[in-house]
A and B are shown apart, each in its own frame.
Chain A
Amino acid sequence: MKSKKIGLSRLSQVQGGTEHWADGVVHLRRGPSGGSNEEIGQKVARGRALPADGRLARKSYKIKKVLVLGSGALKIGEAGEFDYSGSQGLKALKEEGIKTVLVNPNIATIQTSPLLADEIYFLPVTPYFVEKIIAKEKPDGILLSFGGQTALNCGLELYDKGILKRYGVKVLGTPVSAIELTEDRQKFADHLRGMNVSVPPSEACGTLEQAKAIAEKISYPVMVRAAFTLGGQKSGVAYDEKQLIEIVSAALAVSPQVLVEKYLHHFKEIEYEVVRDSAGNCVTVCNMENMDPLGIHTGESIVVAPSQTLTNDEYHALRQISIKIVQSLGIVGECNVQFALNPKPKNPNTDLMQSKGQNQEQIQNTKYKILNTKIEYYVIEVNARLSRSSALASKATGYPLAYVAAKLALGITLNKVKNQVTKITQSFFEPALDYVAVKIPRWDLEKFSGAEETIGSAMKSVGEVMAIGRSFEEALQKAVRMLASKARGISYAGFNTATPDLERWIKIPTPKRIFALAEGFKRGMDAEKIHEMTGIDPWFLYRLKNIVEIEKELGEKKKLDKESLLKSKQAGISDKIIGKLAGKTEAEVRYLRKKLKITPSVFQIDTLAGEAPAKTNYLYLTYHGSHNDVKPLGKNSVMVLGSGPYHIGSSVEFDWSCVNTALSLKKYRKKSIIVNCNPETVSTDYDMSDRLYFEDLNLETVLDIYDFEKSGGVAISVGGQRPNNLAGKLHENKVPILGTAPENINRAEDRGKFSALCDELSIPQPEWANCASIAEAKTFAAKVDYPVLVRPSYVLSGSAMSVCFNDADIENFVEKALGLTAKKYSVTVSKFMVNAKEIEYDAVAQDGVTLVYAISEHLENAGVHSGDATIAYPTQKVFSSTEEEIKSTSRKLAKSLNITGPYNIQFLVKENKVYVIEINLRASRTLPFISKASGVNFARLIVDSFYKKGSPVRLSYPDHVAVKSPQFSFARLAGADPVLKVEMSSTGEVAAFGADLGEALLKAILASNNLTEKKSALLTLGGPVNKRRLFEATKLLSDAGYKLYATGATYDFLKEREIPAEIVYKLNDGKMPSVIDLINEKKVAFVINLSEQNGEKVKKVGGEVTDGYLIRRAAVDSHIPLFTDLQLARSFIKALTEKSLDDLEIKSWREYMPKGKMDI
């Protein structure tokens, strides 16, 4: 990032001052020279169309080949929404007959499919690689705004360096000058002020002292923002100088500049999604209101569409301002404008009217008095590209923003783009919603040891859900259930009459606040009081109160008559909670409900609120209806259950499986019905299936949909663990499940049963025991020797899984694990094998016979969660005898479990002996990687197997290597310890191809890390084993001319062996130069920090802080690649010292495939 430029599109004013507060008051009255739509209108009306735009339209339409930049791995602040936007963009280009070239190393995405892109490069989205691709592919146009900030930054750099010009690549859509203007805070703020648009008083500065002075001038509280783009990193609100010092210091550590701005306490936060075409036509597709007041990042906030508390005048004034901004920038495509709106405007200003010479007193009749509506607003952010909000807006309205934006980028005007939902109208309109959409973020903070739980102006969430209902209550409660936590609604979710500190939970924003609010109402708290405490508009609070009151009534009455049941369902109360209140089981409530004919209606999302007959297949359920918009598809349809919100352990890879399954059903003339609730996904694009239910994946909803559709089968094995967990219950309810029988799924997933099966088949597995108490666990651990691995059954992404090295670890952990385990299942303690290899086996079987399989290898030793592991295909260091054993073991398991459909087995290999760790009878996380690395679409075979039409496919041994690398988002999670462990913590992944392991690995690491060309590294190696085993690699580095820095014992070790190194001191040493300064000053290209495998304590909140933790934390905070695994570090160093950048081949996926065919 250039120091003179600040990437954030937040706005500032050069001179802060109170006079700007008055700017915020606008009148609904439009002057003759008001909004820019009007100005253009006047010109057009006078027969003067905009010449520049007209030329653009004609010129850009000749584009034949377009380069699209993706966003790379999923990370906090930049996630699945860009798979959606890229996919829609590619689709729109393809329709126009344009060849597309996509650069995106995120191999699990759907956009990286030949279905959507003509050429695909699994290479880093960096100027170096993209330039090479441009030189090779010679595209004539490029799209920058479909791959988040990653693509935008890369594109701007290519533009600034003159690379695009040199190769004659035209930037399509919004002009670069406009993007650059929005990316430069100061210039943009000046631009807005120049056109009478209000921005919060603020000033930028580069030192702490300056920041203090500015804060004094603006007056506390102030918002501090660092010059980083993704999701408000290192931002915070300071209420006093002490907090200011803390926040500014942290921000200045990562950025040369910070912005101190007036904190708009308890203002509403409102967003508009705007599209504009090259003819200057402009509409706002959606507006959204954050339930949480300003101060909580919109990505962290509960958001509702459309706005609920805005009057016509407010809604349209803000709409007009967003259009005015977008017109002024000349956006061609999509733009997001975020506002702060004062719910109690303090600065009424009537100057505007008086300046028009009106004499109000002369007007007797109040009916015609000039409106005195005052609005106090500030523009707080503008994103001149597709964003998370635009993905949400697309799903909330049915208006495919990314698809339309791509058409507009080609110069097509809005009225020439067909409305993809109605098919009979066009795209120049603003959707009218006849429902409410509610988004709730999904956090996984408990997965990161040490991470702070509070939420605020920086993003921490890893995914989101969206729910649709005909009342706020219905949508909100659905959304809560969609999160896949234990909560079945806002009540009875972790808070009860005994919870202490309830007021604190209400006041301090955390992921749990919504539940604390419900408990507050249960305890009789007043909505107005909670409003004072939280700034949440009373409108929302009264809706929550309504839910609590209906539940209370139900609890008192205990009688479930038709009226009370219907009322409860209309308030979104789940059968389970109704049962709890009325003393019945969930199943009993369901039975009664159906007997009383209280079932949800199926409604369409048609963008026009029913005004035009729509062909749309985009559906939701509601209890506020008495009819269905569609007829059941019946036996010939198949329900495909999606994966729900992205979170650690369940991400875009399951969406890939889901979409590919739905698409493959066409071959069998089956109608696909996707059920999913994640607005970031491609599976929730309405053209990926014959029907889309934007709905929850819990039993109640899935049964409701099944009862209506009467589908011939339900696919539960392609959406990850969540739908898979429904196997038993769906089976009990006589729902036909495609693939492996539910009894066999249970046999594979219940550890006891599975272990018995392995014993029966003489398949070795690490010693294990079921333990129901700490004492039992300790006894077992003593028997097999520490370390041991502790985990519950039905595990995904290592939730509540840990390696324990001693009795104390067990005590600490087993309680937590037991607490997380459903009563029916037990906790497993197993021998943890040190220095073992881990192998992934992915396959599809039909009636117990394997049709296709692929074996891949973890580069790290066992002990790193498979989702965090670096995985290579084909295997590099596995003996063929071992592979044979893996195959034979898998065959046995497939046969005895009579598997039909996907399965994945994880093996341990130690001293050439093969052990089974676990088996999953569902599509695994590695499925898209394996499919794309091997060139065989496993999902297609899954569908074949469902219909018993699969024939065996033998994978040819590839002449390339593919490597999948994890993407971590630790930098986003203050306090979290960035160390690899058995619990998964990565948020995404990338993959790359190469002629050998080294090339593929290096590309993958470059794609997921910010590796600079600096020839220096820091080594801090704990224990003699690590030092010895990394020695060879260390020597390679040194020989290759790397300057090495090392801490205490590592330095001594290197010195003894005559490897030149420079010593840096740990904090505890108290000497200079300090290792932390070294990292903060970015003097090294990467850090290798290896801990002894003895269970070094990770940092806990308020607990002890180790040097190792501080070093790791400093590395991620400074965005320096960090290696904490010995094996990976060795492989990386080997590759780094063997290859130069020039050695990394620029080859498309097609070029790696046999016969150059991408047939998946």
Chain B
Amino acid sequence: MTGKLILKDGTEISGYSFGKEKSIAGEVVFATGMVGYPESLTDPSYAGQILVMTYPLQGNYGVPSKEYWESDKIQVSGLIVSSYIKTPSHHQSERTLGDWLKDEGIPALEIKDTRALTQKLRTKGAMLGKIELGEKIQFADPNKENLVARVSTKKIFTIESYGSGNKTIVLIDCGAKANIARELSARNVEVIIVPWDYDFLNANIKFDGCVISNGPGDPKMANKTIANVRKLLAKKIPTFGICLGNQILALAAGGDTYKLKFGHRGQNQPAVIKGTDKCYLTTQNHGFAVGKIPKGFREWFYNANDNTNEGIIHGNLPFMSVQFHPESRPGPLDTGWLFDEFLKKI
């Protein structure tokens, strides 16, 4: 079956469907990583988005079992590729990418010229779009929705804990990738995962530090999280933000955020520790960035390509955050040491 990707600016691109045959609307963004489609598709930060993969071949190694995903389901609204490979080869593969998308009800199109689409998004910025397979639908802006609320753990009063050790970390799930919890737990700490808006400071939880997770959309939508983080800061509890967590920390401490033209989505983003020549290759997936650095904080990392903020750190208190993904998956494993840095503060 053929379908269409329609952009808000009127562009129509037809392609072959290889996922669920249904229509969907969202924000169209592109990602430049060459590996890791199962990880990306299950990354809750992509909620509400139609993801365009710039690497032209997708599906090469099939889909592994659920334990390797970054969340329980495919999070993207739709997928756009140049060529879909229906003959995967890998010992971990359990099904094809196409079958997985069908099973999870996610539409996908093979459109060949993903480069033209990428260039358009780069020039005009991330744009609303829709995949039409049969039914005609309206555009919808996911950034107007509280996406964090949508992807955060639903069991509002259930605290999931795992790992063991004598230190406990609360992980605020704004759409956390599973690997954040895995990374923490591998470092011998107990991790308690709480919903984005859970008032854990008033709950009867004993903990030593807090990690604010990654997540989708505009950070200002996560006002309840921001309010909770403000309380954390007041209590001087060690706090570490990742991606959306960086923005939330900045907002909670009095800084500001803004929407980037087309965001950073890829596995080759260079982050430099400010004041040094030390660079790290990082995975990124964000459409918003920290603009105004809050008082008492300084810029910790910056992007070597466009100088945007990549992290902030407090002058003397144990508050820090990064715009990239030290937990990787997908992407380079270069910045896992940040978890150690954080854990040293607790």
- A contact residues vs B (CB 8 Å cutoff): 28-32, 34-35, 37-42, 44-45, 49, 277, 279-281, 283, 306-313, 315-317, 319-320, 323, 343-345, 353, 356-359, 362-373, 413-416, 424-426, 428-436, 470-472, 527, 537-539, 542-543, 546, 570, 601, 603, 608-613, 624-627, 629
In the complex, what distance in Å separates the CA atom of A550 from the CA atom of B166? 62
Given contacts A537-B89, A538-B89, are A38 and B336 in contact (CB under 8 A)? Answer: yes
Q: Which residue on chain B has the smallest CB distance to residue A307? A: B35
Q: Is the CB of B334 within 8 A of A37?
A: yes
Q: Is B195 an interface residue (CB 8 A)?
A: no
Contact A610 B64 (CB under 8 A): no
- Is the CB–CB distance between A40 and B60 below 8 Å? no
Please state if A608 and B278 are interface contacts (CB–CB under 8 Å): no
Asked whether, in the complex, the Cβ of A42 is within 8 Å of the Cβ of B341, the reply is yes
From B57, B92, B268, A311 is in contact (CB under 8 Å) with B92
The answer for the CA separation of A603 and B178 in the assembled complex, in Å, is 37
What are 16 A-B interface contacts by the 8 Å CB criterion? Answer: A44-B273, A306-B34, A308-B60, A312-B36, A316-B332, A353-B186, A371-B67, A414-B279, A415-B272, A428-B304, A432-B55, A470-B83, A539-B88, A624-B82, A625-B113, A625-B116
Q: Which of A311, A359, A428 interacts with B64 by CB under 8 Å?
A: A311
Q: When A415-B277, A601-B113 are in contact, do A432 and B266 touch as well, CB less than 8 Å?
A: yes
CA distance A426 to B271 in the complex (A): 12
Chain A: minimal CB distance from B148 (Å): 18
**Cβ-defined contact, B334 with A35, below 8 A:** yes
Residues in A with CB closer than 8 Å to B337 are 32, 34, 37-39, 41-42, 45
- The A-contacting residues of B in range 243-282, CB under 8 angstroms, are 266-270, 272-273, 276-281
| Given the contacts A29-B182, A428-B304, A434 and B163 also touching, CB distance less than 8 Å | no
Q: How far is the CA of A542 from the CA of B178 in the complex (A)?
A: 33
Instruction: Tell me which residues across on chain A come within 8 A of B221, comparing CB atoms.
Output: none
**A376 CB to closest chain B CB, in angstroms?**
11
What residues of chain A lie closer than 8 Å to B83, measured between beta carbons?
470-471, 624
Q: Determine if A610 and B61 form an interchain contact, defined as CB atoms under 8 angstroms apart.
A: no
Residues on B with beta carbons closer than 8 Å to the beta carbon of A363: 162-163
Contact (Cβ within 8 A) B305 A312: no
* Bound Cα distance A428, B281 (Å): 8
- Which one, B125-133, B139-147, B323-331, is touching chain A? B323-331
Say yes or no for B118: interface residue by CB 8 A criterion.
yes
Whether B118 lies near A41 (C-beta < 8 A) is no
Write the residues of chain B forming the contact surface with A, with a CB cutoff of 8 angstroms: 30, 32-36, 38-39, 54-57, 60-61, 64, 66-69, 71-72, 82-83, 85, 87-92, 112-116, 118-119, 122-123, 160, 162-165, 178-179, 181-183, 185-188, 191, 193, 266-270, 272-273, 276-281, 304-305, 328-341
Determine whether the beta carbon of A539 is less than 8 Å from that of B92. no
A30-B333, A434-B54 are known contacts. Are A362 and B162 too (CB-CB below 8 A)?
yes
Determine if A609 and B113 form an interchain contact, defined as CB atoms under 8 angstroms apart: no
Is A609 in contact with B54, judged by CB distance below 8 angstroms? yes
Q: Which residues of chain A are within 8 angstroms of B163 by Cβ–Cβ distance?
A: 358, 363
A609 to B262, CA, bound (A): 14
Select which of A44, A316, A371, A546 is within 8 A of B68 by beta carbon.
A371
Q: Judging by beta carbons under 8 Å apart, are B332 and A319 in contact?
A: yes
Name the residue on A nearest B304 (C-beta).
A415
Structural contact, B280 and A41, CB atoms closer than 8 A:
yes
> In the complex, are the beta carbons of B91 and A344 less than 8 A apart?
yes
Contacts of B38 in A (CB 8 A): 311-312
Q: Which residues of B contact A624 (CB under 8 A)?
A: 56, 82-83, 112-113
In the complex, A414→B85 CA distance in Å? 36
Residues of A within 8 A of B112 (CB): 470, 570, 624-626
User: Given contacts A363-B162, A432-B34, A611-B118, could you give 8 more A-B pairs where the C-beta distance is less than 8 Å?
Assistant: A44-B276, A309-B89, A312-B38, A316-B35, A316-B328, A366-B66, A538-B89, A625-B116
A-B contact count (CB 8 A): 268
Please, how many angstroms separate the alpha-carbon atoms of A610 and B266 in the complex?
12
List the A residue with the shortest CB-CB distance to B341: A45
Query: CA–CA, A435 to B115, complex, Å?
Result: 10
Across the interface, which residues of A come within 8 angstroms of B278, CB to CB?
A: 40-41, 44, 49, 279-281
Given the interface contacts A44-B276, A356-B188, A627-B116, does A34 sit within 8 Å of B92 by beta carbon?
no
State whether A312 touches B330 (Cβ < 8 A). yes
Whether A362 pairs with B71 at a CB distance below 8 angstroms is: no
Flag if A612 contacts B335 (CB, 8 Å): no
Asked if residues B276 and A434 are in contact (CB atoms below 8 Å), the reply is no
CB distance from B201 to the nearest CB of A (A): 23
Q: Are A358 and B186 CB-contacts (below 8 A) given A42-B337, A372-B67?
A: yes
With both chains docked as a complex, state the minimum distance between the C-beta of B310 and any C-beta of chain A, in angstroms.
13
- A412 to nearest B CB, angstroms? 10
Q: Are A32 and B187 in contact (CB under 8 A)?
A: yes
- Which residue of chain B has the shortest Cβ distance to A321 in the bound complex? B333
Contact between A311 and B35, CB atoms less than 8 A apart? yes
Nearest residue, chain A, Cβ from B116:
A627
Nearest-Cβ distance from residue A315 to partner chain B, whole angstroms? 5
How many Å lie between the Cα of A676 and that of B284 in the bound state? 36
Task: Answer whether A434 and B115 are a contact pair too, CB < 8 Å, given A45-B273, A281-B279.
Answer: yes
> Which residues of B are found within 8 Å of A370, using beta-carbon distances?
182, 185-186
A433 to B188, CA, bound (A): 38
Question: Complex formed: what's the CA distance from A306 to B72 in Å?
Answer: 29
Name which residue of chain A comes closest to B332, CB basis.
Answer: A316
Cα–Cα, bound, A1148→B72 (Å) = 69
Q: Which residue in B35, B66, B187, B269 is a CB contact (below 8 Å) of A367? A: B66
CA distance A570 to B82 in the complex (A): 11
Q: Which residues of A contact B32 (CB under 8 A)?
A: 432, 434, 608-611
Closest to A470 in B: B56
Q: Across the interface, do A539 and B279 meet the contact criterion of CB distance under 8 Å?
A: no
Which residues of chain B are near A345, meaning CB under 8 Å? 91
- B188 and A357 form a contact (CB under 8 A): yes
Contacting residues, chain B, for A367 (C-beta < 8 A): 66-67, 69, 71-72, 178
Q: Report the bound CA distance from A1134 to B331 in whole Å.
A: 65
Chain A residues closer than 8 Å to B39, beta-carbon distance: 312
Per a CB cutoff under 8 Å, which of A40, A279, A316, A538 touches B87? A538
Find chain B residues with CB under 8 A from A371 CB: 67-68, 179, 182
Chain A positions within 8 Å of B273 at CB level? 44-45
Chain A residues near B114 (CB-CB < 8 A)? 434
Closest to A53 in B: B277
Contact (A37, B279) CB under 8 Å given A432-B266, A611-B266, A624-B82: no
Cβ-defined contact, B185 with A279, below 8 A:
no
Q: Tell me the complex Cα distance, A231–B225, Å.
A: 60
Cα-based distance from A424 to B307 in the complex (angstroms): 12
User: Is A316 within 8 A of B277, CB to CB?
Assistant: no
Q: Which residues of A contact B36 (CB under 8 A)?
A: 311-312, 315
B164 touches A470 (CB 8 A): no
B267 touches A311 (CB 8 A): no
Residues of B within 8 A of A542 (CB): 87, 89
- The answer to whether A309 and B185 touch across the interface, beta carbons within 8 angstroms, is no
Distance, CA A777 to CA B201, complexed state (A): 100
Docked Cα-Cα span, A29 to B187, in Å, equals 10
A41-B335, A312-B36 in contact; A362/B164 too (CB < 8 A)?
Answer: yes
Q: Do A358 and B57 contact each other (CB < 8 Å), given the known contacts A42-B337, A430-B267? A: no
> Nearest Cβ in chain B — how far from A370, in angstroms?
6
Shortest beta-carbon contacts, A-B, top 6: A312-B36, A38-B337, A542-B87, A539-B89, A609-B54, A610-B118
Do residues A610 and B115 form an inter-chain contact, with CB atoms below 8 A? Answer: yes
Cα distance, A358 to B341, chains bound together (Å): 21
Query: Is the CB–CB distance between A626 and B113 below 8 Å?
Result: yes
For A344, list chain B residues within 8 Å (CB). 91
- Cα–Cα distance between A357 and B164 once the two chains are bound (Å): 8
**Nearest CB in chain B to that of A527: its residue:** B87
Contact of B333 (CB < 8 Å), options: A320, A414, A435: A320
Q: How far is the CA of A283 from the CA of B273 in the complex (A)?
A: 16
Complex CA distance for A315 and B339, rounded to whole angstroms:
22
Using known A-B contacts A39-B337, A627-B116, determine if residue A312 contacts B178 with beta carbons closer than 8 Å. no
Q: Which B residues touch A306, using CB under 8 A? A: 34-35, 55
Cα–Cα distance between A425 and B34 once the two chains are bound (Å): 20
